[in-house]
A and B are shown apart, each in its own frame.
Chain A
Amino acid sequence: MNWLDILVQGVLLGGLYALFAAGLSLVFGIMRLVNLAHGDLIIFAAFAILLAVSTLGLNPFLAALLAAPLMFALGWALQRFVLNRVLGKDILPPLLVTFGLSVALQNGLLEAFSADTRRIPAGPLESASLDLGIVTVGWMPLLTFLSAVLVILALNRIFYATALGRAFRATSDDPVTASLMGIDPKGIFAIATGLAMVVVTVAALYLGMRANFDPSIGPARLIYAFEAVIIGGLGSLWGTLAGGIIIGVAQSLGAAINPEWQILAGHIAFLVVLLIRPRGLFPRAVD
């Protein structure tokens, strides 16, 4: 077997996990909110894109462009009207609310779309590949990885080069002091969650085009995303990408040894990193 090939496929798979994780990392970094419904929101967005593709006959990328502002509004409203009310020193209430949301979303989708597995049709792109000489990579995984890098670049740009990003960082470090400086933390939180939902839409687009999905697979995607965030370290978006790649490579190595070990290998990599570095590899913020 070709180890280089396995490594490259693993890194590219890591791009998908980084996409799952980027929105989570953003919200977690800014408001320490653990959104247990994140995986189900990705599946929700995937169904939204699928709906636009199948009813309006749109190209998937165009459909995602259409879904993104709607998802932003949804995230904004979710934060403004629900999550802001339970954020506080105690981590339990937001955890439980998002857990309730996760179960409600899963079963709402089940009721609306049935348990059938779906896929967003992407035409010839689905199987197109690119020969790089030593290894051959699929266009789809490559595009996913590049999108992940692009999303993280953009988020970092927002974080470190805009007034909004300054407000994000200030609120992340100390919401009370930030509010003394005229920042409204609750408004900032709402924008952050809206932004996270835009990232979720991108993640949903690639998840839906690359693999089959059904309403029940959200929590498994959430676990990968969380592992990537924790491995990367709180508040570090590049760390999240690194975390995604570690999970992706571990899974791809595990699968090469025995297909049944794919998922297990990813989890074990997570536990090993945790054992050595409990705060992740590149923690920016102090929890």
Chain B
Amino acid sequence: MQPTVTTRTRAGTITAVLALILIAVGLALPAFASRSLIQDLFFILTMLTLAQLWNLLAGYGGLVSVGQQAFVGIGAYAMFAGVILWGIDPVLAIPLGGLAALLLAIPTAFFAFRLAGAYFAIGTWVIAEVTRLLIAQWKALGGGTGTSLPREATSDIIGVEAIRTLFDVREAAARDILAYWLALALAVLTIAAIYALLRNRLGLALAAVRDNAEAANSVGVDARRIRWAVFLIAAAMTGLVGALIYVQTARISPDAAFSVTDWTAYVIFIVVIGGIGRIEGPILGVLVFYALQTLLADYGAWYLLTLGLIAIAVMLFAPRGLWGLISDRTGLQLFPVQRRLTGITMKGGKT
């Protein structure tokens, strides 16, 4: 038998099957789930997508950004601009969010990539602040106080009428279902794309650059180009998520759309608690995050206090997160990216 390099494992195959079943259930869910469950799932799915993207940046790309809220915010505002200024349907305006985030990411990368390590983190944060302050000057979109999507724009969003008749629900609920489906699609797409990326040459190059940029350069990996690619992809996707989130909330303000707590702190906690540098990490992390939020919902500030302390404890005692703990004990990999040699027969010895 010819030796071959493979990333396939049995757990990976089972996961793939389970994932397909989960997606099918997720698609059918609005038929029997309550509106509040759909809203909670929307929140979970959007946070999961943001966490996967931050994980791609920091966990695989070594780019620790504290400024991802810039792309959430600019994406959301671009969607609002499309709806309010040019009369585009909110759902069709979502790609504008991705585009705007991509455009913002180019000068951001130009600035931030001149900085290494910790400087990079602060640089991205400052750029997010600058973007927030500039957007707050945009009077047509409500300036510093923000604005809402106009009633006539939200009342006939594409597809909402069909969902209304399909599930026999009210208009607001139909909007939530539409947003939920889009969030599901975006989450699945993001995870699939990241998984595919990590399994091909680019993923290998990415890991090499993260582990040692000089060594990667010396074997012919263009570290600069890869970092640019990862940063731009993550920014554009983050912009799409931002636009989608604000299609659902339909109300925007600079402080909310560029919130470092909501779009970066939470996201970082999800990734860290779940396990950085693994696709499984953010998935586990978002579930823990949601469980904590539900449990501690009535305790106000205690919730964030606890979250902060848990993140510290995880970094101290399980630096690779909860999934790292599970994986170390069991060797389980749901999304195997490790390349292994199979089909080797050893001669003259026990195998």
Smallest beta-carbon distance B130→chain A, Å: 5
Q: In whole Å, how far is B143's beta carbon from the nearest beta carbon of chain A?
A: 9
B151 interface hit (Cβ, 8 Å): no
Q: How far is the CA of A278 from the CA of B303 in the complex (A)?
A: 39
Instruction: Number of A interface residues at 8 Å Cβ cutoff, please give it.
Output: 41
Contact call A99/B118, Cβ cutoff below 8 A: no
**Closest CB in chain B relative to A216 CB, distance in Å:** 9
Main secondary structure of the interface of A (DSSP, over half): helix
B133-A230 in contact (CB<8A): no
CB contacts (< 8 Å) of B219 on chain A: these are: none
A92-B312 in contact (CB<8A): no
| Contact assessment for B123 and A274 in the assembled complex, using a CB-CB cutoff below 8 Å | yes
Chain A stretch 105-127: residues in CB contact (< 8 A) with chain B? 105-108, 110-111
Whether B130 pairs with A264 at a CB distance below 8 angstroms is yes
In the complex, which residues 283-320 of chain B have their Cβ closer than 8 Å to any Cβ of chain A? 300-305, 307-312, 315-316, 319
Q: Give the number of residues in B that approach A within 8 Å (Cβ atoms).
A: 44
Question: Cβ of A214 < 8 Å from any Cβ of B?
Answer: no
- Kindly state whether residue B44 has any CB partner on chain A within 8 Å: no
With A and B bound together, what is the CA distance between A84 and B123 in angstroms?
25
**Which listed segment binds A: B9-17, B92-100, B191-199, B268-276?**
B268-276
Q: Is the CB of B118 within 8 A of A97?
A: no
B58 CB-CB contact with A under 8 Å: yes
- Cβ of A86 under 8 Å from chain B: yes
Chain B nearest CB from A96 CB (Å) reads: 5
A219 within 8 A of B: yes
> Hey, which chain B residues are within 8 Å of A100, CB to CB?
269, 272, 307-312, 315
* Cβ A108 vs Cβ B305 within 8 A: yes
Contacts of A264 in B (CB 8 A): 130, 133-134
Query: How far is it, in angstroms, between the C-alpha of A93 and the C-alpha of B321 when the chains are bound?
Result: 11
Can you list the 5 inter-chain pairs with the closest CB atoms, starting with the nearest? A104-B308, A100-B311, A103-B308, A34-B118, A107-B301
Instruction: Give the A-binding residues of B (Cβ under 8 A).
Output: 58, 64, 66, 111, 114-119, 121-123, 125-127, 129-130, 133-134, 136-137, 260-261, 265, 268-269, 272, 276, 300-305, 307-312, 315-316, 319
- Additional A-B contact list (11), CB under 8 Å, known A92-B58, A92-B276, A267-B126: A82-B316, A95-B64, A96-B272, A100-B272, A101-B308, A104-B304, A104-B305, A106-B304, A107-B304, A111-B302, A278-B115
